[in-house]
Amino acid sequence: MGSKLIFNEQFDMSESDQNPFNYPFRSMTDFSDELYEPNTGVELEVMPTGIGPTVDVVVAEGRVYALLEAGLAVLEAESLKELGRLDGLLSARQVAVLGSIAIVTARECGVYVIDVSDSGNPKLLSAYDPVEFATGVHLARPDLAILTNRHYGLEFVDLAVPSSPRFMSTILVGEAQSVFSLGAIAYAGVWYEKELVLVDFSDPRSPKIVGRSALDGFGDGVQVRQELAFVATGHHSALQRDPRTFEQARHITLDMLERGYGKGHGVEIHNVSDPKNPRLVNVVKSPPGFCSPDTWRLTLHGQWLVQTDSGSGAFVYDITDPARPVPTAFAVLPPFENHRQPRTLSIQRDRHPVTGAAIVGNTLLLAGKTSDLYRCDLSRLEREAARQEQPVSPFLLEYPEPDTPQPSKALNLLDTTGQVHWVASDGEVLFAAAGEDGLYVLDPTSRSVLAHQQIDGSSQHVFCSRGLVYVSQVTGGLTIWKRGDTTLRQVGSWHDGPGVRQVMIPESLPLGLAIVGAGEFAVLDISDPAEPICVARHQLIGHAYARLLADRLVEDSYALGATQGSGLNWFDLSGLSGARALPPSSGARLCPITEGFTVHQGRALVVQAGGYYFASPDNPQLHGEASHIREPNCFFSGNPQSVGPDRIVLTNRATGSARVLDVSDESAPKTISYLQLPGNPDRPIRVGDHLVFPCGRSGLCAVACP
């Protein structure tokens, strides 16, 4: 049989079996930066309106004006019902509305002057030919428009007769992108030169620059309230003088970031009470990035300041104290279906860009140039929420001194030419999944081998249910066996694509669950064991390292599985119509070596961050929200297994340690034994007063259960 059965032989751990690196206990999730949350507030849900790609949006005169790819739509403010539309506006970029006049800049197509006095029938009054590509626009008053023409600066246009706009003057200010005015001062966000430029236009035919203030990013959108000017910036910080510096780069490197690459995004606040001497008051940085289109805008509404940052989304700040904006919320638009091939590298995901924003009531409107006009609900953003503290990390600030597992006098039950991955019992005999050496059946009383079945693939998991034995054979699929006294008879099999690594088959439900491939969970109808049928597949994020499938149900209906990247996943196996995955506890990311879960007394017990907590399918845990139960001066490390109403065993397969906990008081666990086992032990089963461990190349071992 290729095996040696050892009777009543005990042995001490050899020096080679000791793993001196059983500490640190810390797992891949056990670091403070795993809980890092950028100070951007809560994420807003974005809801598409269905109006189509929207370049810009403003609220004026009780109406919403959505600038579309080739038209201007006038919408009712609350319902967003379309009241009227003007088509044929090509290459549109920005829109400004004051009174009955709307101005649309259209780059190479010039400027459109539109009569919006009748919301249901907007009319084109005239087209104006600017000095260059008109990008930004602001209506200083009903008869005066200020345009930004990139390198050609600001252009002042007389609208006294809207059907016949007249040129007044231009002034070079640098590469002007957007402009705002208050009183007789125009504030230009200047792109390449990274400046806020103040222009006195008390005589629009002879404007004069009166002040400049340097920016730490490429300037664009501007808003002014009282003595403060808010400026949106993007692309690179002032450390990178030339935006072409890294054009030949094929990867983003740390030295690029250190030299300012992509780090110009944010909002700057400048005191402009003295226009001749503007000064920087504060800077709030948004995430670095470099993605098109090059448009970063600002919207002021009551206590809210909204920054639209192209592909990085939109950021909402509470400016109750205008000089100290508090990040309150953010929103991102959906990703592109197919990744674009931008000319320059970006460190943000390739999402549909936000190119404009407006607020009407408690609704934030976001213009998506390549997607749609979206709405977000701001009603839940209370001022107190904006100042909420960062969540408390469940991870310890100081770690206890490690305790040392004691060498065990383990009883070796089985030695094979393969490695014993798993052990199960049908209440009478033991089944050992022994890798390439197949499946063993042992009598736990006499410790004799009753049967040995060679199989295809590698026997990595065995499960007993409904009087049958289910063997996961990786590339050999799933096989189902019926045991006689000393024989095994195959009664069914299932193999569909990837290898089968682990199964959980409930006694009373029609469905079971299998881990197939690296990280896919298959729901199986096993009502006919001869021909199991896959009724649903769920591909999770990351790999199902180790065996991350609980061997019992939670609340008699839910199977519990995980991958390294997805957190806990709940599968409803209560009926064929179910076969579904519930929303995962995605925040409960687990290191499969030092953390894990088991079903204890019908509940999910999750070991994480050196302690444990209880989870349920109706309460998806977020990282840091769980209240961890700990043992004083002790750090739990390993995959847990419930072996009785008052016992949990934590097994660390990498270090070979097994900690037995007394959990008769679940709120105060106590270590009653901490053992060093041979080989690479996995989760044990309890047989009488012993714990039986599958110990990999060291076979099947038993120790007394304290």
Any residues with CB less than 8 A from the CB of 579 and at least 6 apart, and which? 511, 523, 535, 536, 572, 573
Answer whether 149's CB lies under 8 Å from 107's CB. no
pLDDT for residue 244: 76
Q: State pLDDT tens for residues 562-594.
A: 887 777 888 999 876 656 677 676 666 777 778
If you count them, how many residues does the chain have? 706
Mean pLDDT of 168-197: 96
CA distance 383 to 389: 13
- Confidence at 380, pLDDT banded by 50, 70, 90: confident
Instruction: Please give the share of the chain, as a percent, with pLDDT higher than 70.
Output: 88
Answer whether 142's CB lies under 8 Å from 171's CB. no
- Write the DSSP assignment of 36-59 as a string of letters: ---S--EEPPPEE-SS--EEEEEE
Tell me, rounded to whole angstroms, the distance of Cα 420 from its chain centroid: 37
Q: State pLDDT tens for residues 87-98.
A: 999 889 999 999
pLDDT higher than 50, residue 242: yes
User: How is residue 419 written in tokens?
Assistant: 């490695």
Tell me, rounded to whole angstroms, the distance of Cα 114 from its chain centroid: 43
User: How many other β-carbons are positioned within 10 Å of the β-carbon of residue 417?
Assistant: 14
Instruction: Please give the share of the chain, as a percent, with pLDDT higher than 90.
Output: 68
pLDDT higher than 70, residue 394: no
Answer whether 348's CB lies under 8 Å from 311's CB. yes
Task: Please name which of 590, 534, 537, 584 lies closest in space to residue 563, comparing C-alpha atoms.
Answer: 590
| DSSP label of 15 | G
Task: Look at 76-80, 113-117, 389-393, 596-600 and tell me which has the smallest mean pLDDT.
Answer: 389-393
User: Cα Rg for the chain, rounded, in angstroms?
Assistant: 33
Q: Which residue has the higher pLDDT, 344 or 705?
A: 705
**Dihedral sign (CA 511, 515, 516, 519):** positive
Quick one: 285 exposed, middle or buried, by C-beta within 10 A (0-12, 13-18, 19+)?
A: middle
**Mean pLDDT for the chain overall:** 88
Q: State pLDDT tens for residues 118-142.
A: 999 999 999 999 998 899 999 999 9
Any residues with CB less than 8 A from the CB of 145 and at least 6 apart, and which? 96, 103, 111, 137, 138, 139, 156, 157, 159, 165
* Distance set, CA 559 to CA 109, 304, 495, 674 (Å): 61, 45, 21, 29
| DSSP label of 117 | S
Answer whether 201's CB lies under 8 Å from 216's CB. no
Helix (H) or strand (E) holding 701: strand 700-704
- Confidence at 225, pLDDT banded by 50, 70, 90: very high
Answer whether 199's CB lies under 8 Å from 140's CB. no
Half-sphere exposure of 512 (CA within 13 A, CB side): 27
- Mapping DSSP onto H, E and C, the string for 609-635 reads CCEEEEEECCECCCCCCCCCECCCCCC
pLDDT higher than 80, residue 193: yes
User: How many other β-carbons are positioned within 10 Å of the β-carbon of residue 394?
Assistant: 20
Helix (H) or strand (E) holding 139: strand 136-141
- The residues facing 459 across adjacent strands are 435
pLDDT for residue 523: 93
- Dihedral pair phi/psi, residue 309, rounded to 5°: -125, 45
- Confidence at 234, pLDDT banded by 50, 70, 90: very high
Q: State pLDDT tens for residues 41-59.
A: 888 999 999 999 999 999 9
Q: State pLDDT tens for residues 248-285.
A: 888 888 888 888 888 999 999 999 999 999 999 999 99
* Distance set, CA 477 to CA 420, 451, 498, 509 (Å): 18, 21, 8, 22
Mean pLDDT of 156-173: 97
- Confidence at 343, pLDDT banded by 50, 70, 90: low
pLDDT for residue 15: 39
